[in-house]
């Protein structure tokens, strides 16, 4: 296989991982500072999976990066995210220490921002004894997928209460922030959270529920509707599930498929309905569609959790592209006036 062909088979996240593993710890730390928290988490996780990388692959990725870098107008700057564990797993504790220190020990990583670097179970244990409203404020500051993992550590009753609090939350008052100060670090000077900041809301609650395991998601929504049916309906209306991909227009599906690896797609489609499969096949070349169908046929039994993980990964890509204006989740990508 030629270098170009091999590069085409490499997903964007794999390219990023290869690049970071190739440039040395100091340079990797500098690059990671410019990624969003979610991007840092994803690329760190991918680094743990990389093995047997050939010199040709590294060269092809670096050449591709240089071409794209020359064409770019600038780099976006984001916040830090938690990656301590995945970097240690990828590089070993000794080699990872300097890289971790460069990322984590900046002056900005304080207060609530530091929670984004913590394991969800540790966050859950940290806030478990606090008032539910304080818990809801903290969950609203996390990223939806992390908040979903934290909520998974709570009882069904507590999950229902917290999601409803998040959905109906608006401006956080000074008293709540003062209470939050005591929980996190005593002060919020480096967290970026100011008095009166908007947190939570129905859309954020929907994003959290979207990131939960399907079993927890279904039970949670049933409980919320039992308590407040209109609120439950509002949350459900804003949720975007894997089956909803068939409502994306053809141009959007094609753009999405370019960002998803074939391995993840095969896993995700194992439990997809025929309408969605037809939509996917119809937006691929005839040869690519036939190869995908063959892969699905020969793929043996897989765990439900693996399928759900793959589907969530694709949904995360879809939401990111929607936020960037690259696709429209509801259908037509034509501009509306």
Say which CATH number the domain at 29 has. Answer: 1.10.220
At residue 173, does pLDDT exceed 60? yes
pTM score over 0.75: no
Start-to-end CA distance of the chain, whole Å, equals 48
Q: What mean pLDDT value characterizes the chain?
A: 75
Together in a domain, 121 and 224: yes
Q: What is the count of structural domains for the chain?
A: 3
Structural domain boundaries, residue 98: 3-102
Token pair for residue 125? 């244990």
Ranking 87-101, 157-171, 256-270, 323-337 by mean pLDDT, the lowest is 87-101
337 lies in some domain = no
The reported pLDDT for the residue numbered 158 is 92
- Rounded CA-CA distance 246/126 in Å is 40
Those residues with Cβ within 8 angstroms of residue 28's Cβ, 6 or more apart along the chain or in another chain: 20, 21, 99
At residue 160, does pLDDT exceed 90? yes
Confidence band, pLDDT 50/70/90 cuts, at residue 333: very low
Together in a domain, 131 and 250: no
The reported pLDDT for the residue numbered 319 is 79
138 lies in some domain = yes
The reported pLDDT for the residue numbered 79 is 33
CATH number at residue 204: 1.10.220.30
Q: In this structure, are residues 219 and 152 in contact, taking their beta carbons and an 8 Å threshold?
A: no
Together in a domain, 298 and 179: no
User: Which one has a higher pLDDT value, 249 or 94?
Assistant: 249
328 lies in some domain = no
Proportion of the chain above pLDDT 90, given as a percent = 11
The reported pLDDT for the residue numbered 195 is 42
Q: In this structure, are residues 195 and 174 in contact, taking their beta carbons and an 8 Å threshold?
A: yes
Residue with tokens 């000074």: 174
The helix/strand/coil state of 198 is strand
329 lies in some domain = no
Confidence band, pLDDT 50/70/90 cuts, at residue 154: very high
332 lies in some domain = no
Last residue of a domain, one of 221, 238, 255: 238
The reported pLDDT for the residue numbered 6 is 53
Together in a domain, 223 and 152: yes
Report in angstroms the alpha-carbon separations of 1 from 22, 236, 270, 284: 22, 46, 28, 22
Those residues with Cβ within 8 angstroms of residue 275's Cβ, 6 or more apart along the chain or in another chain: 246
At residue 71, does pLDDT exceed 70? no
Mean pLDDT of all residues in 278-302: 89
At residue 37, does pLDDT exceed 80? no
Together in a domain, 131 and 92: no
Together in a domain, 194 and 142: yes
- Rounded CA-CA distance 295/268 in Å is 12
335 lies in some domain = no
């Amino acid at each position: 296989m030629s270098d170009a062909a091999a590069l085409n088979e490499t997903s964007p996240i794999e390219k990023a991982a290869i690049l970071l593993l190739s440039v040395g710890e100091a340079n990797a730390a500098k690059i990671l500072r410019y990624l969003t928290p979610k991007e840092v988490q994803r690329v760190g996780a991918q680094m743990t999976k990389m093995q047997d990388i050939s010199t040709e692959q590294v060269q092809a990725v670096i050449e591709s990066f240089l071409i794209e870098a020359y064409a770019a107008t600038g780099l976006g700057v984001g916040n830090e995210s938690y990656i301590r564990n995945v970097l240690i797993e990828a590089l070993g504790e000794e080699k990872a220490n300097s890289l971790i220190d460069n990322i984590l020990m900046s002056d900005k990583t304080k207060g609530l921002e530091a929670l984004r670097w913590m394991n969800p179970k540790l966050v859950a244990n940290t806030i478990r004894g606090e008032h539910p409203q304080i818990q809801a404020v903290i969950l609203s500051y996390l990223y939806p997928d992390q908040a979903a993992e934290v909520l998974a550590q709570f009882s069904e009753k507590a999950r229902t209460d917290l999601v409803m609090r998040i959905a109906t939350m608006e401006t956080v008052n000074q008293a709540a922030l003062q209470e939050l100060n005591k929980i996190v670090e005593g002060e919020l000077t480096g967290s970026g959270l100011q008095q009166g900041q908007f947190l939570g809301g129905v859309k954020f609650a929907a994003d959290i529920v979207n990131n939960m395991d399907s079993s927890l998601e279904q039970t949670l929504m049933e409980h919320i509707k039992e308590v407040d049916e209109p609120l439950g309906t509002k949350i459900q209306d804003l949720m975007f599930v894997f089956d909803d991909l068939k409502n994306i227009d053809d141009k959007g599906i094609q753009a999405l498929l370019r960002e998803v690896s074939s391995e993840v797609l095969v896993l995700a489609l194992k439990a997809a309905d025929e309408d969605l499969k037809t939509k996917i096949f119809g937006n691929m070349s005839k040869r690519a569609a036939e190869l995908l169908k063959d892969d699905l046929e020969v793929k043996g039994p897989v765990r439900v959790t693996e399928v759900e993980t793959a589907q969530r990964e694709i949904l995360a890509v879809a939401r990111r592209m929607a936020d960037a204006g690259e696709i429209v989740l509801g259908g037509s990508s034509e501009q509306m006036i």
